Chain A
C-alpha cells in the first residue's frame, strides 16, 4: 500500500538500527505511548533488533485497556436491557468486566453490534426509531473527533433514540502521571503519531521542559518507529529534552483545527479514572452540558455495580510500564486472549496481547 510499504524497507531499517547502536553509549529506557506502536514493535521484533542499551517499555495507550471496570460493567448492564441496541468497536467485546463481557451479553440474547465507525451507530439509530441505540464512545484524542461528530449529527437531526457511553482519555496527563510516579524509569517518550495528527504537538512542550524528557512524535511503521527511537536516543545522549516531529507526513505543529473545534464543542475536560492506573486529574473528556441528553450514563440509570478485578491480573503494572507482559505469572497460563483476565490481553493494542500473538508466548512454552 502506498505510503505504508515504503516505510517497511528492511535494508533501511537495519541501517537505522546500526545508527542507533552507534549513537547509544549508555543504557536508555524509552516508552512508546501508543498500543498500536507496541504491536508494531513486537510484531517486527524491533525491541530485539535494538542494541542492548535501549529498552522499550510499553505505555498505557490502549483505550479499551484503561476504560474503567465500572464503565465496562455499566455497558454490560445497558447492553443487557430489552429494547437496546448496543454498538461498539470490535475491540471492546472481549474485554472482561466483573465476571462477563459483551460477547457473553450477546450470546445471552443481547443485541450487541460491532461497528467500524461511530457514524454507523447513528445510522443504526435512524434505521431503528423504536429502539434505543447506545454507542460505546471510547478512545484517545485520535478517535474523539469521530465520536464528537456522531453526537453532533444526532443532535442536529433530533435523534432522541441515540446516546453514547463516553470514556475518553487524553495522552499528556497520562505522560505526566507516569513521570510523576516514584517507580518511573522512562527517560524519553515516543508520542503517539495519530493523536498528534489531531492535536498537534504544542501541548507536549511544557512536559519536555518541566521534566527534562525528550518527546518524539512517532509513526507506526518500522522505519517511523526507528526514526523516532533514533531521535530520542540522540537527544538523551546529547542531554537535550525537546519535542521533535519524526512523523512529518501525518503531523504538523498545530494539528487538525476543525477536528479540535468539534471536540471542544461536544466534549468537556474532566478528571478520569484509568483502569489499572487510577485517577488522573483532567485526563478525560465527557459530553459538554449542551450534549448531556445524549449521555447514556444519564439516560440509563445503572445501580448495584460491584466491580471485581481478577486478583491474578497485573495489567496495571503493565500499563504503567513497570512490568513486561511475559513477567506476569498468569501470562499464557490463566490469562490468554481466549480467557483474558485483564483488558491488556484482549485488544489489538494491549501489550499482553502483542506478546502473546507475536511469539513471545511460544518461547515461554519452549522454556523448561
Chain B
C-alpha cells in the first residue's frame, strides 16, 4: 500500500490544498493532488501514492545512482576482463 509510482507533471491547476496536476505515467495520465509538493513545476517528476504527490523525484540523484552503479561495473570489467566475460557468458546461458 506504500506503493509509489514515478510520473511527470504535465499540467498544474488550483492552489493550496486543492493544487492539482495531471501526471503522465508513461502514457497513462491521472489527476493528482500536488498540495504537498508546492515547489514542483511542469516537467518535474514526482512519486505518487493514492492520488497524492508525496515527494518531488530528485532526477539528479537518480542519474548519479545509476552512473555510480554503472561505474562499478565498468571498473570490474577493466580489473578482471576474464571474470567479467565469464559472468556475461553465464548470464547469456541463463537466458537461453
Minimum CB–CB distance from B74 to chain A (whole Å) comes to 10
A251 to B62, CA, bound (A): 11
**A146-B52 in contact given A2-B45, A249-B65 (Cβ < 8 Å):** yes
Q: Is the CB of A2 within 8 A of B17?
A: no
State the main secondary structure of chain A at its contact with B.
helix
- B22 interface residue, CB < 8 Å from A? no
Q: Is the CB of B1 within 8 A of A349?
A: yes
Q: Is the CB of B36 within 8 A of A36?
A: no
Q: Is the CB of B6 within 8 A of A2?
A: yes
Q: Is the CB of B61 within 8 A of A142?
A: no
* Residue of A with least CB distance to B36: A259
- Which of chain B's residues have a CB closer than 8 A to the CB of A156? 17
Range for the number of chain B residues in contact with chain A: 35 or more
- A4 interface residue, CB < 8 Å from B? yes
A278 to B13, CA, bound (A): 44
A139-194 residues at the B interface, CB under 8 angstroms = 139-140, 142-143, 145-146, 149, 152-153, 156, 192-194
- Binary flags per residue of B40-83, CB closer than 8 Å to A gives 1, else 0: 00000101011110110111011011100110110010000000
Minimum CB–CB distance from A135 to chain B (whole Å) comes to 11
Q: Is the CB of A258 within 8 A of B38?
A: yes
Q: Is the CB of B2 within 8 A of A36?
A: yes
Q: Is the CB of A258 within 8 A of B36?
A: yes
Q: Is the CB of B26 within 8 A of A2?
A: yes
Q: Is the CB of A145 within 8 A of B65?
A: no
A252-288 residues at the B interface, CB under 8 angstroms = 252, 256, 258-259, 262
- Which of chain A's residues have a CB closer than 8 A to the CB of B49? 142-143, 146, 194
**A250-B51 in contact given A2-B8, A145-B36 (Cβ < 8 Å):** no
Q: Is the CB of B50 within 8 A of A197?
A: no
Q: Is the CB of A11 within 8 A of B91?
A: yes
B1-55 residues at the A interface, CB under 8 angstroms = 1-6, 8, 17-18, 25-26, 33, 35-38, 45, 47, 49-52, 54-55
Q: Is the CB of A117 within 8 A of B52?
A: yes
State the main secondary structure of chain B at its contact with A.
mixed
- Which of chain B's residues have a CB closer than 8 A to the CB of A11? 73, 91
**A149-B35 in contact given A12-B70, A197-B4 (Cβ < 8 Å):** yes
- B85 interface residue, CB < 8 Å from A? no
A1-49 residues at the B interface, CB under 8 angstroms = 1-4, 6-7, 9-12, 14-16, 18-19, 34-36
B61's partner among A152, A194, A248 (CB-CB below 8 A) is: A248
Q: Is the CB of A256 within 8 A of B25?
A: no
Minimum CB–CB distance from B8 to chain A (whole Å) comes to 7
A197's partner among B47, B59, B73 (CB-CB below 8 A) is: B47
A64 to B3, CA, bound (A): 14
Minimum CB–CB distance from B46 to chain A (whole Å) comes to 10
- Ranked 4 nearest A-B pairs via Cβ: A117-B51, A249-B62, A248-B61, A142-B2
8 A-B residue pairs with Cβ-Cβ distance under 8 Å, sorted by A, are: A1-B6, A2-B6, A7-B66, A15-B73, A36-B1, A143-B49, A220-B4, A256-B37
List 6 extra interface pairs beyond A10-B91, A15-B73, A198-B54, CB under 8 A: A1-B5, A9-B69, A64-B1, A142-B1, A194-B54, A197-B47
